[in-house]
Amino acid sequence: MVENVIVVGAGMAGIAAARTLVDQGFQVTVLEARQRTGGRIWTDRSLNVPLDLGASWIHGHLRNPMTTLARKFSVDRSVTDYDSLTLFNSDGSILSNETSELIERLTAETIDQLLSAKSSAAKTTSIAESFERFIATADLRKIHRSGVEWGMAWEIELEQAGNIESLSLSGYDEDDAFQGDDVLFPGGYGQLIDGLAKSLDIHFEQIVEKISYGTDRVTVTSNGTNHTAHRVVVTLPLGVLKRGAVGFFPELPDAKLQAINRLEMGILNKIAMRFPDCFWPESTHFFGMLGDSHRDVMNIVNMTPHVEQPILVALTYGAYARTLEMATDFEMVSTVLEDLRTIFGPGVPDPTAVAITRWNSDPFALGSYSHIPPGASPEDYDIIEEPVAQRLFFAGEASCRRYPGTVHGAYLSGQQQAKKIAIIAGLTDMTD
């Protein structure tokens, strides 16, 4: 008998699970709350060019499964050069090479100290606590302290989508990484989703309300309609699981609920702006500016080298991004323009088009991706990943201990859960 499986969510994890299951002969139905595939992969075209407003990069292109998919679907890639960065002081002046190099060295030394301290750190210790101790002994000039704070944001906070006060020291840098360049897609990450999703049975605007499971069947209720299957792959984002927006009957095991509650969702938003023409150095990949407080600093990604269009994308993260979501589009853009006019002069024009994300307010995401706060640990990812009653299987970046917070982590977790189902159903064995 061919088993049927329901996959909840058409993001990368859900599409990967569904594709793997279909290829192994399962009957698969994907229920997606949005009107599109991709989830937190969102290739937008409102600026007249494909632009990723969610996930953007392959992080480490060597042997990365995303690179394999890009080759399979003939998707163009563009290398990101993190050394192509111009850093400005808060008054808009460019930092001297000497100052920039000193800030880079001090930041690297600080991160080395953090890594040395993490082995003896209490589970409840934040990165910020150790950072403040290190900085207090360094006796830095104001500009150098601001520079190191910016460096921490650049190296840690942007990557984790959270401020160092909300990040665990003992849980820092515990994940694995692929080697090689970070690359993005001039035509959008959605091309990979489209390639994988081809011919899958996907039902859109299906808001799942509850998932009931027993010894031989699972019933998923969406929009008041029941869908029954032998098993279900749940790829709900961590933020949705934390909110309890979907009811499980019987309730999930206490250990899983506690792990869900311990981990947190980070916030990384984008304010993308198209201008009449480039008023900035077209070949520079990034612009950064020190601030009076590193809590309200943005970083600017120059998309021109990748898409050959006059587009800048401001990145906001953590508590500031969460607060900024409550502002209007006009207010958010005005905040970015203030920085740009400080850097490039009062003649910076208004953008001709904008695209803005509010991932924390998105009911189907409730955040950007997971991180480990004080009190949590990498083991929590393993607990979330564990199947329940051989009927519920959990996939997504927040169930992938090796590669959390990444698209390749979501993809690999979706594949892994599909393979577990195949083993349980007797369609394959552990050596396949």
Q: How far, in Å, CA of 146 to CA of 142, rounded? A: 6
pLDDT score for 430: 40
pLDDT score for 428: 59
Please state whether the peptide bond connecting residue 346 to the residue before it is cis, i.e. omega within 30 degrees of 0.
Answer: no
Q: How far, in Å, CA of 416 to CA of 21, rounded? A: 10
The stretches of 244-283 forming alpha helices (DSSP H) are: 254-262
pLDDT score for 256: 98
pLDDT tens over the chain, length 432 residues: 789 999 999 999 999 999 999 999 999 999 999 999 999 999 999 999 999 999 999 999 999 999 999 999 999 999 999 999 999 998 999 999 999 999 999 999 999 999 999 999 999 999 999 999 888 887 788 888 889 999 999 999 999 999 999 999 999 999 999 999 999 999 999 999 999 999 999 999 999 999 999 989 999 999 999 999 999 999 999 999 999 999 999 999 999 999 999 999 999 999 999 999 999 999 999 999 997 665 677 899 999 999 999 999 999 999 999 999 999 999 999 999 999 999 999 999 999 999 999 999 999 999 999 999 999 999 999 999 999 999 999 999 999 999 999 999 999 999 999 999 999 988 654 444
Q: How far, in Å, CA of 80 to CA of 195, rounded? A: 24
Q: How far, in Å, CA of 400 to CA of 408, rounded? A: 10
Which residues make Cβ contacts (< 8 Å) with residue 131, sequence separation at least 6?
A: 110, 114, 152, 164
Angle at 185 between CA 179 and CA 189, to 5 degrees: 95
Q: How many CA atoms lie within 13 A of 72 on its CB side?
A: 12
Supply 150's token pair. 């910016």
* CA-to-CA dists, residue 273 to 130, 183, 312, angstroms: 37, 21, 5
Supply 373's token pair. 């706060």
Q: Domain limits of the chain?
A: 4-39+189-264+371-424, 43-81+180-186+266-356, 100-166
pLDDT score for 431: 42
**pTM for the full model?**
0.95
Instruction: Give yes or no for a contact between 318 and 166, defined as CB atoms under 8 angstroms apart.
Output: yes
pLDDT score for 75: 98
Indicate the length of the chain as a whole number. Answer: 432
Task: Tell me which amino acid residue 156 is.
Answer: I
Phi-psi region of 205 (alpha: psi -120 to 50; beta: other; left: phi over 0): left
**What sign does the dihedral 52-406-190-235 (CA atoms) show?**
negative
Supply 32's token pair. 């997606």
Q: How far, in Å, CA of 291 to CA of 414, rounded? A: 41
In angstroms, the first-to-last Cα distance of the chain is: 20
Supply 283's token pair. 């070949």
Distance of CA 57 to the CA centre of its chain: 10
CA dihedral 256, 262, 263, 269 (to 10 degrees): 130
Q: How far, in Å, CA of 211 to CA of 95, rounded? A: 55
* CATH 3.50.50.60 is held by the domain 4-39+189-264+371-424: yes
* CATH 3.40.50.300 is held by the domain 43-81+180-186+266-356: no
Please tell me whether residue 293 adopts helix, strand or coil conformation: coil
Task: Tell me which amino acid residue 376 is.
Answer: A
Distance of CA 51 to the CA centre of its chain: 16
Q: How many CA atoms lie within 13 A of 339 on its CB side?
A: 26
**What sign does the dihedral 373-60-282-102 (CA atoms) show?**
positive
